[in-house]
Structure 1
Amino acid sequence: MTKSKDKKREKISVATEIDRVEERRIRFQDNIEKAEFRTRREVLSDRERQDLEDEMTIMRERVQRLDKDLITLRGENRRNMMLSVALLALSAFFYYAFIYGDEDL
């Protein structure tokens, strides 16, 4: 099952993966804000307050993990972009060398 999941992930572009992770991060951040608002506005029992604090801690950890994933994905995206630019420059060089270089002969 892990291999099929990895194969599906390989087909997703880095930019799409970045968008997906950013959306998940935004949802977690919104949930944290809602929970913080609830702790300030509602009268909660100690048990409810502790459960809410535990949930907020878990969500904050997930946001931190998503931030790390975003850093990794953005680095990979940057590397892919630089590779694309290098290939474009190399193609332009060969095009110039072989097309315009033959005119001198």
Structure 2
Amino acid sequence: MTKSKDKRREKISVASEIDRVEERRSRCQDNIERTELRNRREQLSDRERQDLEDEMAVMQERVQKLDKELDILRGENRRNMMMSVALLALSAVMYYVFLYNDEDLS
């Protein structure tokens, strides 16, 4: 990937990246379903049927890759959320310590 694509991707939030990957996965899943329907409904030659099955196999591999990417992104999202909660808790503790420490000094 080029540097500009890496920089652009860094600016995208994890949540929007998850949405983007889920949308791509949904489109692939829809394509698989349409291809399966066509395979069942139409009278196809053996070659056409094999081509459709090959196409479905490729799309299923894409779905599996997108599922793996989603798992990674969701893990990253959980980690980011936990870091946010930890920072919030730390901030609350610091506020509490300084607030009550100042009252003791008065």
TM-score normalised according to structure 2 size: 0.96
Whole-angstrom distance in 2 between the partners of 1:100 and 1:77: 34
Counterpart in the other structure of 1:6: 6
SS in structure 2 of the partner of residue 94 of structure 1: helix
Q: Deviations over 1:33-61 (max 9, x none)?
A: 01001111110111111111111000000
**Residue in structure 1 matched with residue 70 of structure 2 by the alignment:** 70
Q: What are the residue-to-residue correspondences of 1:2-81 with 2, within 5 Å? A: 2-81=2-81
Aligned-partner SS, 2:63: helix
1:92 aligns with 2:92: yes
Greater CA deviation, 64-73 or 45-54? 45-54
Question: Quick one: which amino acid aligns to residue 48 of structure 2?
Answer: E
Tell me which moved more, 92-101 or 64-73. Answer: 92-101
SS class of match (1:101): helix
Gaps of 5+ in 1: none
Aligned length: 105
CA distance in 2 between counterparts of 1:89 and 1:28 reads 41
Aligned residues: CA RMSD:
0.9
Letter aligned with residue 44 of structure 2: L
The letter of the residue matching 1:37 is: L
After the TM superposition, which parts of structure 1 deviate over 2 Å for at least 4 consecutive aligned residues? none
* CA shift for structure 1 position 101: 2.1
